[in-house]
């Protein structure tokens, strides 16, 4: 998307007149709505909305748009935000040794398909330093001792410091093979995205392809989700599957799975940075 746009996302208790009020507000200022999506969650009776507005159709900038919209938002008890397409989201990538998801995201970033800034990559191994620095991106190694909780806490404190220092908008675990502590999950709720190599909620935790092989499954998959303090149980953003059969080995499943993981993570991250994902309890509304 090259056209300069403002994206409004909101959720509030459902009631009559929300769409009319927001549309009238935009129209009163000459705003041109180019994309609009709506959904009511029947269980919670909560309303969700996403609108894209042509920036050049308004007589003021994003800051003033936010100031003017705040009064309407208060009237309807909205949780809301307005983002500016001219301001790219800052994505901090976390990796371990496997590079397929990292490689895919960096390719999409270099080609312009993924419209983000990547200020740095953080890893608990040195293996991918040369590959990352070849792309002109700073690489930060953070030692993550296996059996020392005190040093692990210090490592996560360093990761949080780097993320804040880089003014990160979202942290992406691109096959970062460590469990993020509850303190970071709470601190960055809705801002940490993980790719899990199984179709959750099946086969959580380590070696899901081995678990799937032992169960003789006929479908394998991958899940992109927000990280919560419960392992592999955060709100799901995107998923996909692939059919397999009894002749496929664990190595085959791992190989097939890498292709699914790359695609699912890229789609999930794109939905997030384009403000297409709204969280509703432990599930998501995704306006594709």
For residue 188, the model assigns a pLDDT of 97
To the query of whether residue 147 is one of the catalytic residues in this protein, the response is no
User: Which one of 3.90.650.10, 3.40.50.1980, 1.10.10.410, 3.40.50.170 gives the CATH number of domain 89-286?
Assistant: 3.40.50.170
Write down the residue that tokens 């994309």 correspond to.
35
25: its two tokens: 């507000």
Whether residue 178 contacts residue 147, with contact meaning beta carbons closer than 8 Å, is answered with no
The class of domain 5-84 in CATH terms is alpha beta
Whether residue 197 contacts residue 209, with contact meaning beta carbons closer than 8 Å, is answered with yes
DSSP structure class, residue 137: -
Cα separation, 277 vs 286, in Å, equals 5
Helix (H) or strand (E) holding 214, with range, is helix 208-215
Whether residue 39 contacts residue 75, with contact meaning beta carbons closer than 8 Å, is answered with no
Of 232, 240, 245, 251, the active-site residue reads 232
Domain residue limits, the chain: 5-84, 89-286
For residue 202, the model assigns a pLDDT of 75
- Diameter of the chain measured on Cα atoms: 63
Q: Per this entry, what is the length of the chain?
A: 288
Q: Which residues touch 286 (CB under 8 Å, ≥6 apart)? A: 237, 238, 271, 276, 277, 278
Which residues lie across from 76 on neighbouring strands?
none
Cα separation, 278 vs 80, in Å, equals 10
Whether residue 190 contacts residue 279, with contact meaning beta carbons closer than 8 Å, is answered with yes
Task: Encode the chain (288 residues) as per-residue pLDDT tens digits.
Answer: 579 999 999 999 999 999 999 999 999 999 999 999 999 999 999 999 999 999 999 999 999 999 999 999 999 999 999 999 999 999 999 999 999 999 999 999 999 999 999 999 999 999 999 999 999 999 999 998 877 767 889 999 999 999 999 999 999 999 999 999 999 999 999 999 999 987 766 777 778 888 888 888 888 889 999 999 988 889 999 999 999 899 989 899 889 999 999 999 999 999 999 999 999 999 999 999
Cα separation, 224 vs 175, in Å, equals 11
Distances (CA, A) of 218 to 202, 244, 264: 13, 5, 19
Pairing of strands 121-123, 89-95: parallel
For residue 27, the model assigns a pLDDT of 97
For residue 1, the model assigns a pLDDT of 56
């Amino acid at each position: 998307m090259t056209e300069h746009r403002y994206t409004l996302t909101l959720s509030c208790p459902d009631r009559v007149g929300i769409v009319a009020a927001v549309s009238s507000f935009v129209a009163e200022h000459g705003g041109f709505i180019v994309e609009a999506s709506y959904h009511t969650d029947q269980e919670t009776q909560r309303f969700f909305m996403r609108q894209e507005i042509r920036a050049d159709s308004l007589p003021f900038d994003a800051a003033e748009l936010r100031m003017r919209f705040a009064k309407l938002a208060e009237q309807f008890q909205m949780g809301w935000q307005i983002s500016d397409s001219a301001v790219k989201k800052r994505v901090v990538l976390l990796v371990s040794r496997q590079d397929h998801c990292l490689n895919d995201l960096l390719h999409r970033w270099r080609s312009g398909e993924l419209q983000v800034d990547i200020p740095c990559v953080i890893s608990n191994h040195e293996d991918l330093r040369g590959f990352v620095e070849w792309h002109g991106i700073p690489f930060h190694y953070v030692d993550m001792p296996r059996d020392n909780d005190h040093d692990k806490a210090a490592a996560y404190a360093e990761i949080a410091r780097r993320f804040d220092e880089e003014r990160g908008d979202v942290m992406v675990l691109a096959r970062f093979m460590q469990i993020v502590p509850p303190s970071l999950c709470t601190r960055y709720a809705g801002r940490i995205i993980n790719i899990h190599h199984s179709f959750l909620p099946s086969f959580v935790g380590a070696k899901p392809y081995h678990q799937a092989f032992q169960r003789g499954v006929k479908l394998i998959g991958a899940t992109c989700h927000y990280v919560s303090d419960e392992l592999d149980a955060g709100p799901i953003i995107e998923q996909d599957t692939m059919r397999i059969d009894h002749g496929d080995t664990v190595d085959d499943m791992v190989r097939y799975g890498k292709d699914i993981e790359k695609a699912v993570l890229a789609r999930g991250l794109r939905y997030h940075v384009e403000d297409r994902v709204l969280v509703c309890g432990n599930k998501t509304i995704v306006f594709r």
